[in-house]
Amino acid sequence: MTEIEKLLEIMRRLRDPENGCPWDLEQDFSTIAPYTIEEAYEVLDAIQRDDMNGLAGELGDLLLQVVFHAQMAAEAGHFAFADVVAAINDKMIRRHPHVFGDAEARDAEKVEGSWERIKAAERADEDDRSALAGVAMALPALKRAHKLGKRAAVVGFDWPDARGPAEKLREELEEVAEAEAAGDAGAVAEEVGDLLFAAANLARHLKVDPETALAAANVKFERRFRAVEAMLNARGERLQDLPLETLEEAWQAVKDAASADPA
Provide the mean pLDDT of the chain.
91
Q: What is the largest CA-CA distance in the chain?
A: 70
Q: Superfamily assignment of 130-208 in CATH?
A: MazG-like (1.10.287.1080)
Q: How far apart are CA 196 and CA 144, in angstroms?
A: 11
At 87-145, the pLDDT tens digits run 999 999 998 888 888 777 777 777 777 777 777 777 666 777 788 888 888 888 999 99
Sketch the domain layout of the chain as residue ranges: 3-94, 102-129, 130-208, 212-260
pLDDT over 70 (residue 261): no
CA distances from 254 to 23, 127, 149, 234, 240 (A): 49, 55, 36, 14, 18
Of all residues in the chain, what percent carry a pLDDT higher than 90? 71
Contact 227, 254 (CB under 8 A): yes
Q: Superfamily assignment of 3-94 in CATH?
A: MazG-like (1.10.287.1080)
Quick one: which H or E segment has residue 63? Answer: helix 52-75
At 162-191, the pLDDT tens digits run 999 999 999 999 999 999 999 999 999 999
Burial code (b: 16+ CB inside 10 Å, e: under 16) for 86-100 equals eeeeeeeeebbeeee
Quick one: which H or E segment has residue 196? Answer: helix 185-205
Q: Do domains 3-94 and 130-208 have the same CATH topology?
A: yes
